[in-house]
Structure 1
Amino acid sequence: MNPGQEPLVVVRGATLAYRGHRVLRGVDCRIEAGETLALLGPNGAGKSSLMRIVAGRLPPESGTVRIAGADPFREREARRAIGWVPQEIALYPRLTVAENLSVFAQLSGIGRRERKAAVQAALDLADLGEVARRPVGHLSGGYQRRANIAASLMARPRLVLLDEPTQGVDLHARAAIHAVLARLREQGAAILIATHDFAEAERLADRVAILADGRLIHEGRLALLLERIRAEVPEHEVALTNPAGPDAVAALRRAGFTPIDTGLTWRASHRAGLDGTALLGSLRAQGVPVGEIRIRAPGLDAIYREALDRAGPDRPLTLHTGNEA
Structure 2
Amino acid sequence: MNSRILEADSMWLEYEGRKILQNIYIKLQTGHITGLLGRNGTGKSSLMQMIFGTLRGQSQSVRVSGDYFAYPYQQPRLISYLPQQAFLPPNLRVNDVCKLYEVDFAALCRHFESLEQYGRTRIGDLSTGNRRLVATLLVLLMPVAFTLLDEPFAALSPINIEQMSKVITEQRARKGILISDHAYEQVLGLADETYLIVPVGRSILLKNTLAELEEFGYI
**Residues of 2 paired with 1:33 and 1:125: CA distance?**
23
Q: 1:131: Cα distance to partner?
A: 2.9
**Residues of 2 paired with 1:77 and 1:32: CA distance?**
19
The structure 1 residue matched to 2:126, chosen from 113, 118, 139, is 139
2:58 is aligned with 1:149: no
Residue matched to 2:214: 305
Asked whether the 8 Å contact 2:34–2:179 carries over to 1, the reply is yes
Asked whether the 8 Å contact 2:12–2:60 carries over to 1, the reply is yes
Q: 1:122: Cα distance to partner?
A: 4.6
Residue matched to 1:244: none
Residue matched to 1:14: 11
Residue matched to 1:39: 36
* 1:47-98 alpha-carbon deviations (Å, 9 max, x no partner): 1111111111124423521133333434665464111111122123343211
Residue matched to 1:279: none
Asked whether the 8 Å contact 1:54–1:72 carries over to 2, the reply is no
Residue matched to 1:123: 108
**Residues of 1 paired with 2:57 and 2:153: CA distance?**
28
Asked whether the 8 Å contact 1:8–1:33 carries over to 2, the reply is yes
**Residues of 2 paired with 1:12 and 1:98: CA distance?**
38
Task: Flag structure 2 segments of 5+ consecutive residues without an equivalent.
Answer: none
* 1:236-281 alpha-carbon deviations (Å, 9 max, x no partner): xxxxxxxxxxxxxxxxxxxxxxxxxxxxxxxxxxxxxxxxxxxxxx
**Which SS does the other structure have where 2:104 is aligned?**
helix
Q: Counterparts of 1:1-325 in structure 2 under 5 Å?
A: 8-74=5-71, 78=75, 80-105=77-102, 118-120=103-105, 122-123=107-108, 126-127=111-112, 128-152=115-139, 155-186=142-173, 188-213=174-199, 214-216=201-203, 218-220=204-206, 225=208, 300=210, 302-306=211-215, 308-309=216-217, 317=218
**Residues of 2 paired with 1:74 and 1:54: CA distance?**
8
Larger Rg: 1
Q: How many residues align?
A: 216
Q: 1:212: Cα distance to partner?
A: 1.5
Fraction of identical pairs, as percent? 29
**Which SS does the other structure have where 1:162 is aligned?**
strand
Residue matched to 1:231: none
* 1:273-292 alpha-carbon deviations (Å, 9 max, x no partner): xxxxxxxxxxxxxxxxxxxx
Structure with the bigger RCO (C-alpha within 8 Å, sep 6+) is 2
**Residues of 2 paired with 1:76 and 1:212: CA distance?**
27
Q: 1:143: Cα distance to partner?
A: 2.5
What TM-score, normalized by structure 2, do the two folds share? 0.83
Residue matched to 1:286: none
Asked whether the 8 Å contact 2:90–2:123 carries over to 1, the reply is yes
Residue matched to 1:243: none
What TM-score, normalized by structure 1, do the two folds share? 0.59
Task: Flag structure 1 segments of 5+ consecutive residues without an equivalent.
Answer: 106-117, 227-299, 310-316, 320-325
Asked whether the 8 Å contact 2:73–2:80 carries over to 1, the reply is no
